[in-house]
Amino acid sequence: MTTEKLTTLPSSPAQTELELTDSPGCQSTSLHDSDVPEVDLFSPLKIRDITLPDRIAMSPMCQYSAEDGFANDWHFVHLGSRAAGGTGLIIVEATAVTAQGRITPGDLGLWDDMHIEPLARIVRFLRQQGAIAGIQLAHAGRKASCNVPWLGGTPLTPEQGGWPVVGPSPIPFQEGGPVPIALDEAGIEEVIEAFVTTTRRALQAGFQIIEIHSAHGYLLHSFLSPLSNQRTDSYGGSLENRMRLLLEVTKRIRDILPSGMPLFVRLSATDWMEGGWDLKQSVILSRELKELGVDLIDVSTGGLVPHARIPVQTGYQVPFAAKIREEAGIRTGAVGMIKEAEYANQVITRGCADLVLIGREMLRDPYWSIRARCHLDEEPNWPLPYGYAVKQQRRGK
Ligand SMILES: Cc1cc2nc3c(=O)[nH]c(=O)nc-3n(C[C@H](O)[C@H](O)[C@H](O)COP(=O)(O)O)c2cc1C
């Protein structure tokens, strides 16, 4: 196996936050599964009562293909294909906790009991294939009410079916965009309650892992960042106050989850902007989340402001996952421009993260996990009806 050096970050506002980029590797911690001395990409990962078959997850990816929040055959095939492709953990796209919390009219939702069964059908299939089924719960906040991306992704006017957006403060995501209505305490309580009731529905649908979406500038992230949160009440100002909403949502969700069920939180570890949310705050937040019973931080970055300069390149977010893992002592997932199996394996073997999430590469190739196994000389985990046939062909029959 090659031992290519992990990506270093180029000069950027966040560069000074990261000292580890030139180190020979990330430090392993006790969170490395002690049952498996030689941890690699294909080692199982036990979190509470759930054992992921390996360290590969499909990253949540909106399909903007739902109507009124309902999952349909597209979602079944899209997610089912990755389960047939041997993916150990499949995290269903950002699923809105209220209709108002959708990015676009095409977002999945789980704000009504009627949404449960179409998702449950998908979950049954994923689990039959041996995958673990996760779901990301989200509220888009001030980035809600937009057109689907292939129609430009721009804010919808009321005539186009747009709806009022909410946020911590009346600061739009971009110039000319809708000015969010600042949530009052009753509105905040409604949001928290929506996350809780949606979690109950996700449990009914059979999901095995819940991920809270607190990244990419959506509602919970927008409360964290001083750039979008300029409140003067107990939800704004100090770091403690800005973290309050996410911590309350997390606590209330953890309270109703079975004790054996893992809870993940996706964070943007930095806004890539001076004066914004950053890695140091992310480490403090991750420690608090761990205290509340969060099992893994899924470490992304950016999305809070449209004009941030992000040094996108292979593994550019991995050092953030490594730092949070090391400093907060919590499992992390690494995501972003992880394409090659060897590289993904190194992220795990070097102890930079406990899980690798694959996004667009899995859109390009639903069999990414099986190919990764073949590439790294592991036994491929073909679905039963394929395995005997392709193995025969391999032997030249
Ligand atoms: C089509 C598409 C939809 C996405 N939707 C979501 C989403 O629902 N929730 C989320 O947290 N990230 C979302 N993302 C971000 C991905 O999960 C992932 O973090 C990002 O694409 C970087 O990983 P990659 O380089 O492997 O694609 C989306 C990305 C794409 C390309």
Is ligand 1 within 6 A of the CB of residue 54? no
Measure Cα distances from 119 to 71, 81, 92, 358 in Å.
6, 15, 9, 22
Atom of ligand 1 nearest to the CA of 59: 17
Q: What is the pLDDT of residue 38?
A: 85
Q: What is the pLDDT of residue 161?
A: 96
Measure 94 CA to ligand 1 centroid, in angstroms: 9
- For ligand 1, mutation pick of 95, 360, 364, 369 (most atoms within 8 Å of CB): 360
Tokens of 267: 């964070």
5-394: CATH superfamily: Aldolase class I (3.20.20.70)
Q: What is the pLDDT of residue 391?
A: 81
Judge contact between 101 and 144, C-beta under 8 A: yes
The tens digit of pLDDT for each residue in 262-314 reads 999 999 999 999 999 999 999 999 999 999 999 999 999 999 999 999 999 99
Measure 140 CA to ligand 1 centroid, in angstroms: 14
Judge contact between 220 and 214, C-beta under 8 A: yes
Q: What is the pLDDT of residue 35?
A: 55
Measure Cα distances from 69 to 1, 14, 32, 320 in Å.
44, 37, 38, 33
Q: What is the pLDDT of residue 280?
A: 98
Q: Report the distance separating Cα 9 and Cα 279, nearest Å.
A: 14
Is ligand 1 within 6 A of the CB of residue 360? yes
Q: What is the pLDDT of residue 24?
A: 35
Measure 358 CA to ligand 1 centroid, in angstroms: 9
Is ligand 1 within 6 A of the CB of residue 143? no
Q: Which positions of the chain have pLDDT values less than 50?
A: 1-25, 28
Whether 218 is catalytic: yes
Burial-class residue 196 by CB neighbours within 10 Å (0-12, 13-18, 19+). Answer: middle
The domain spans of the chain are 5-394
User: For residue 272, which of 235, 315, 240, 302 has the smallest C-alpha distance?
Assistant: 302
Measure 135 CA to ligand 1 centroid, in angstroms: 13
Q: Which is the catalytic residue, given 218, 235, 316, 367?
A: 218
Is ligand 1 within 6 A of the CB of residue 229? no
Q: What is the pLDDT of residue 144?
A: 98
- For ligand 1, mutation pick of 7, 56, 58, 61 (most atoms within 8 Å of CB): 61
Atom of ligand 1 nearest to the CA of 215: 11
Measure 216 CA to ligand 1 centroid, in angstroms: 10
Give the type of residue at 309: R
